[in-house]
Amino acid sequence: MSAQPPSGGGPAAHLDPSWGVGTRAIHAGQPPEPVTGAVMTPIFQTSTYAQPHPGAWPWEYSRTHNPTRSALQAALAALEGATHGLCFSSGLAAIDTVIRALPTGAKVLCGDDVYGGTYRLFTKEWGRFGLQFTFVDTTNPELVVPEGTALVWLESPTNPLLKTSDIAAIAAKAHAVGALVVVDNTFATPVFQRPLELGADVVVHSTTKYLNGHSDVIGGVILTSDDALAARYAFLQNAVGAVPGPMDCFLVLRGLKTLHVRMERHQQSARSIVAWLQGREDVARVHYPGFGGMVSFVLKGDLDAATRFVKATRLFTLAESLGGVESLIELPAIMTHASIPAEVRAAIGLDDGLIRLSVGIEEEADLRRDLERAFAAAAAV
């Protein structure tokens, strides 16, 4: 990696524009370490750096810059086709930074089916500071972006209903009134969707999920090709200090190397489980956007049946989160989306009995047998 910390947290040069996603995941921003030739980016577990002359050394303090973090930022920026990447200690810290950069009183138009923690941060915290949030169905092709909107916040596919929005069409409408478009791309990953190429200004991720992929890190990132926005986010990254440690950055870099291979397998198994669920009499509805590894469905019967179902699986672990190599199962209304009021959940069609699957990369036949067992347990009273 270069001796120079990239300005604004942007990527160091190690990127060939012709590289595809899989090659970027393994190599972008991650040349062999120049001192020893170490193939894997080292964990620069240091808070500070010896300066040869007062103020002359570009690396000064690890809240501001850290070489392991810089490598991860460069790799993630390359994957989304951004020129700048800024990593944070969680997805929510990244999301918080995007909102914090807005002026007081700014109006935000937000999807009505966003991650529960995003909804909680916007309504319970940022509302206090005079920011105004309006929640709308961004999957509606007639969506209007009102004059005076500062920012449009999108999740596509949404969580847990997995509805998709037309990012390019919304970006055109938003830009016509001078609004920024931010896409939380955690569910799709840059393997299946690159919002900046569709006209979005900023992408955020919870790297906790697919990008790391091994359920052992909490982290987040902001990606953009807008130099002024990147400078503002870099200022906040340093001024607020919600930065990830070098060990966590190393783990995400390591996980990232298999991103494209994992995503293909997640998708292959998810598609075949979806086809199987759709053919079952005991399933009322299946939600799947056609790509990726997330599936949700409504079991016929009551909440007790859904509860028996999620307690009966052995390979699908009953847990919050998603995007790891291991399969997870959960009940959004009681778990991940419990912070959304019941009447709001009802209004957006989030059934109390909705079951969400994060389909892992275990053998698909084993996963299906595991779900078979849960169907039997749900039916037995």
Q: Summarize as ranges the residues that interact with ligand PLP (CB under 6 A).
A: 90-92, 115, 117-118, 155, 159, 184, 186-187, 206, 208-209, 218, 220
- Shortest distance, CB of residue 187 to ligand PLP, whole angstroms? 6
- Shortest distance, CB of residue 309 to ligand PLP, whole angstroms? 22
Closest CB to ligand PLP among residues 15, 79: 79
Closest CB to ligand PLP among residues 308, 356: 356
**266 DSSP β-pair partners:** none
- Shortest distance, CB of residue 335 to ligand PLP, whole angstroms? 12
- Shortest distance, CB of residue 278 to ligand PLP, whole angstroms? 25
One-letter-per-residue 3-state SS of the chain? CCCCCCHHHCCCCCCCCCCCHHHHHHHCCCCCCCCCCCCCCCCCCCCECCCCCCCCCCCCECCCCCHHHHHHHHHHHHHHCCCEEEEECCHHHHHHHHHHCCCCCCEEEEECCCCHHHHHHHHHHHHHHCCEEEEECCCCCCCCCCCCEEEEEEECCCCCCCCCCCHHHHHHHHHHCCCEEEEECCCCHHHHCCHHHHCCCEEEEECCCCCCCCCCCCCEEEEECCHHHHHHHHHHHHHHCCCCCHHHHHHHHHHHCCHHHHHHHHHHHHHHHHHHHHCCCCEEEEECCCCCCEEEEEECCCHHHHHHHHHHCCCCEECCCCCCCCCEEECCCCCCCCCCCHHHHHHCCCCCCEEEEECCCCCHHHHHHHHHHHHHHHHCC
285 a catalytic residue: no
Closest CB to ligand PLP among residues 70, 90: 90
184 a catalytic residue: yes
115 a catalytic residue: yes
- Shortest distance, CB of residue 282 to ligand PLP, whole angstroms? 28
Closest CB to ligand PLP among residues 165, 312: 165
Closest CB to ligand PLP among residues 120, 314: 120
Active-site residue, selected from the candidate residues 96, 112, 113, 184: 184
Closest CB to ligand PLP among residues 209, 232: 209
300 a catalytic residue: no
- Shortest distance, CB of residue 267 to ligand PLP, whole angstroms? 17
Whether 244 contacts 219, CB under 8 Å = yes
Active-site residue, selected from the candidate residues 115, 119, 210, 288: 115
**222 DSSP β-pair partners:** 86, 204
Q: Which residues are catalytic?
A: 63, 115, 184, 209
